[in-house]
A and B are shown apart, each in its own frame.
Chain A
C-alpha cells in the first residue's frame, strides 16, 4: 500500500497535468489555425474572383467585337485559352489538358453557342441553368462529372447571350490542403514537445514533493532531527520545505522539552520521595512507636513539608515546561511596569528589611508594556525572591527601570558576592543553583522562558564593582514609545 502510493501518486499527477496542458494547448492552436485558414481561403477566393471578373470583361468585349463569322469561334476560343494560362494560384502544370478553366457562351435557352474547355460543356450549361445565378456576381458551381467545383462569373453581352467564365477551385483547394497538412505536421511536433516539456517539469517538481514526503514519513519513526530537503529556488515548493522544517523545529523543541521535563521530574521527585518514605517508615518502627508522641510527630510533620515542596517543584516544573514549549497562553493587557514594580516592592519591603537588606528604586516614569500581568508578577517575584535568598544582610538591592531603544529595561542589581563563577555560563538553565541554595533551581529558568515568550531578553552578569546584575528587556507598547523623552527622578525605598 505504502510503496504503491509512493510510486503511483506523483506520476499520475504529472500525467494528468501534462494531458490537461496538452489538451488546452491543442485546443488553442486549433482555434488560431481555424481562423487563419478561414482568412487564407477568403483571400484566395477574393483574388480568383477579381481575376474572373477582369477576364470575363475582356472576353465579353472580344465576343462583342468579333464578327460572328467562321473565325469567331477560333478568335474567342484562343483568347479564352490564352486567359486560362494566367489563372491565379497556379502551382504546377502537371495536367496537359487544361481543365482548370472553361468558357461558355449561350443564350438563356437552347444549346451553347461557344464552348472552350474540357469535355463538351453540356453538363456545365445544365448546372449553370439550374443554379439561377445573378449575372456579374461570382458564384459556386458544382458540375456533374467534375469532382472539383468551379467558380463561375456570368456577363450578358449585346446580342442578348451570356458569356460564362469558370475557374476550377482545384488550385485553391490544393493550397488550403497543403496549409492544413503543414499545420498538422508542425503542430504534432510542437504538441509532442510541449507535452514532454510539461511532463518533465511537473515530474521534476513533484519529485521534490515526493522527496519531502519520503523524508517526512521517516521523521518520527526514527528521530525528529531529520529535515526535509530544501530547494535553492524560492518558489512554492521551496517555501513548503522551509515551512515544514520550521514546523519540525517547533515540534522537536516541544518534544525535547517534554523529554527534559520527564527526565528531570523523575530525578527531582526521587529524593524527596525517598526522604518521605524513610521518615514515615522510621515513625512506624516499633522502637519509635513505644516512645513519646513528641518523638515521631516531627518526622511526620517534616514528611508533610517535604510533600509540599514536592508539589511546588511539580507545579513550577510544569509551568516552566509550558513556557519553554511555547505553550503559555498569554493574556496580554496594557501594564505600567513602574506601577507593577512599586507594588511588588511594597510586598517585599518588610521581608527585605527583616533580612537587613536595603531596597532602592530608580524609575523615572510610567512605562507601558503589553504583557500578561500574572506572569510578570511571578517574574518580578522570582527576581526578588532570589535577592532575598542569596544576598547577605547589609547589602543594597537596586531596581532600575528605564526606556531604551523601544524597550523597557529592568535591572535588578546588588552589592553582594555576585554569582558563583562556574554558574554564570548557565544561569538560566534548569536546575542551576548555587551550592548554598535551597531553592529548586527553576526560578531564573522560568523568568527567562516567560520573558522570551513576551519577545524580550534576559541577561545576567557580575558587576565590576562587585555584586550581581540581572537585566530584563521587554518591548514597549507603541503608546509609550511615542511619549516624550524621560526626565530622571529617583526615589528610594528602604
Chain B
C-alpha cells in the first residue's frame, strides 16, 4: 500500500511518516501543493493524506485539482480548523474523510484503514446483514447470534446495525452519536459507552467469542469472527 502525505509541518511529518511505515505503508511526503501535484501525477497512490493549511495553496483546491487530472484515490483530510466547512462536507460525501488536529494516531490509522477498505461489503442480501455468526434481519428488526434470538431494544438494534455495516472498521463515539442518534454533540460523560456495554452484554454474552472491541481513546470496532478468534 502506497500513500502520499501532503503536509508542510515538520513536527507532524516526523511522527506520521515512521508511524505509517510501522503500520506497513510505503509513504511519499510532499511539502507543498506543487510537489504533491508532481508526485500524484507520476505515481499511483492507494490513498492521500492532505493537510488543508499548505504554504502555497488551500488543501481543498489541491484536492479538486488532483481530481480533475484523474487522481481518484481516497483522501484523508487533516485540518486545524474546528468547524467542518461546507466545501469539506461536500468532499466527505465523495468518499473522503476528515480529521481535526489534534488527532490520536490510532484514529488516523483506523480511518485510513476505513478509507482503503471502503468497498469491501459485509452484507448478505438486501434485508440481511451477517457478520460471522451474528445475523441481523433488517425487515423484522431482529438480531440473532448462532441461531439464538437476541433481545434488543430498537435503539440497541440500530447501534448494532451501524456496527455491522462498518464491521472490521473503527467507529468513534462521535460517529455513533451522529449516525445512530443524529446529533453532533460531545458529551463529557460516558453515555455512548453505557449503550455499548449494554449491547455487548447481550451480543457477547458469556461463552461467546467477544465481537465488540474497545479501542482506547478512539472508539469501537465490531470484529469479524475470524479476526476476533485470531
Q: Do A and B come from one complex?
A: yes
Residues of A within 8 A of B (CB): 301, 304-305, 307-308, 311-312, 315, 318, 343-344, 346-348, 350-351, 354, 373-374, 377-378, 381, 384-385, 388-389, 439-440, 443
In Å, the complex CA distance between A381 and B195 comes to: 15
What distance in Å separates the Cβ of B99 from its nearest Cβ neighbour in chain A?
13
Nearest 9 A-B pairs (CB), nearest first? A377-B183, A350-B194, A351-B194, A381-B185, A351-B191, A388-B189, A385-B189, A374-B184, A378-B185
| A301, A304, A347: the one within 8 Å of B181 (CB) | A347
Main secondary structure of the interface of A (DSSP, over half): helix
Q: List 26 A-B contacts (CB under 8 A).
A: A307-B102, A308-B104, A308-B217, A312-B186, A315-B82, A318-B82, A343-B181, A346-B181, A347-B177, A347-B191, A348-B191, A350-B191, A350-B195, A351-B190, A351-B191, A351-B194, A354-B194, A373-B183, A374-B183, A377-B183, A378-B185, A381-B187, A384-B187, A385-B187, A440-B188, A443-B188
Bound Cα distance from A21 to B184, whole angstroms: 64
A350 and B104 alpha carbons, distance in the complex (Å): 28
| In contact, A312 and B188 (Cβ under 8 angstroms) | yes
**Could you tell me the distance between the alpha carbons of A389 and B188 in the complex, rounded to whole angstroms?**
9
Is B117 on the interface with A (CB-CB < 8 A)?
A: no
Residue of A nearest to B156 (CB): A350
**Residue on B nearest A318 in the bound complex, by CB:** B82
Complex CA–CA separation, A385 to B192 (angstroms): 12
Please measure, in the bound complex, the distance between the C-alpha atom of A344 and the C-alpha atom of B189, giving whole angstroms. 14
**Interface membership of B57, Cβ < 8 A:** no
Q: Which residues of A contact B182 (CB under 8 A)?
A: 343
B189→A351 contact, CB < 8 A: yes
Tell me, yes or no, whether B113 is within 8 Å of chain A by CB: no
Residue of B nearest to A442 (CB): B188
CB distance from B72 to the nearest CB of A (A): 32
Chain B residues with Cβ below 8 Å from A439 are 188
Q: Which residue of B lies closest to A387 (CB)?
A: B189
- Indicate with 1 or 0, residue by residue over B43-56, a CB within 8 angstroms of chain A CB atoms: 00000000000000
The answer for the CA separation of A318 and B82 in the assembled complex, in Å, is 9
Task: Give the chain A neighbours of B155 by CB distance below 8 A.
Answer: 346
Contact status B185-A377, CB under 8 Å = yes
Q: How far is the CB of B150 from chain A (nearest CB, A)?
A: 16
Residues of B close to A348: CB separation below 8 A = 191
Known: A347-B191, A348-B191, A351-B191. A304 touches B186 (CB 8 A): no
Q: How far is the CA of A87 from the CA of B184 in the complex (A)?
A: 106
Q: Which residues of B contact A (CB under 8 A)?
A: 82, 102, 104, 155, 177, 181-191, 194-195, 198, 216-217
Give Cα A350 to B190, complex, Å.
10
5 more A-B residue pairs beyond the given contacts A308-B104, A354-B194, with a C-beta to C-beta distance below 8 A: A305-B217, A343-B181, A374-B184, A385-B188, A385-B189
Chain B CB count within 10 A is highest, among A312, A350, A381, for A350
> Residue of B at shortest CB range from A378?
B185
Given A304-B217, A307-B102, A351-B194, A315 and B186 touching (CB < 8 A)?
A: yes
Compute how far the CA of A439 lies from the CA of B181 in the bound complex, rounded to whole angstroms.
24
Which residues of chain A have C-beta atoms less than 8 A from B104's C-beta?
304, 308
Which residues of B have CB within 8 Å of A344?
183
Residues of B within 8 A of A311 (CB): 102
CB distance from B89 to the nearest CB of A (A): 12
- In this complex, which of A344, A351, A378 has the most chain B Cβ atoms within 10 angstroms of its Cβ? A351
Taking CB atoms, residues of chain A closer than 8 Å to B186 are 312, 315, 378
Q: Inside 8 A of B188's CB, which chain A residues have their CB?
A: 312, 385, 439-440, 443
CA distance A348 to B189 in the complex (A): 10
Residues in B with CB closer than 8 Å to A389 are: 189
CA distance A311 to B216 in the complex (A): 16
The interface residues of chain B lying within 8 Å CB-to-CB of A301 are 216
A440's nearest neighbour on chain B, judged by CB, is B188
Closest approach, in angstroms, between the C-beta of A47 and any C-beta of chain B? 87
> How far is it, in angstroms, between the C-alpha of A384 and the C-alpha of B102 when the chains are bound?
27
CB distance from A338 to the nearest CB of B (A): 16
Least CB distance, B207 to chain A, in whole angstroms: 24
Which chain B residues lie closer than 8 Å to A440 at the CB level? 188
Q: Nearest Cβ in chain B — how far from A348, in angstroms? A: 6
When chains A and B are docked, how far (Å) is the Cα of A130 from the Cα of B139? 123
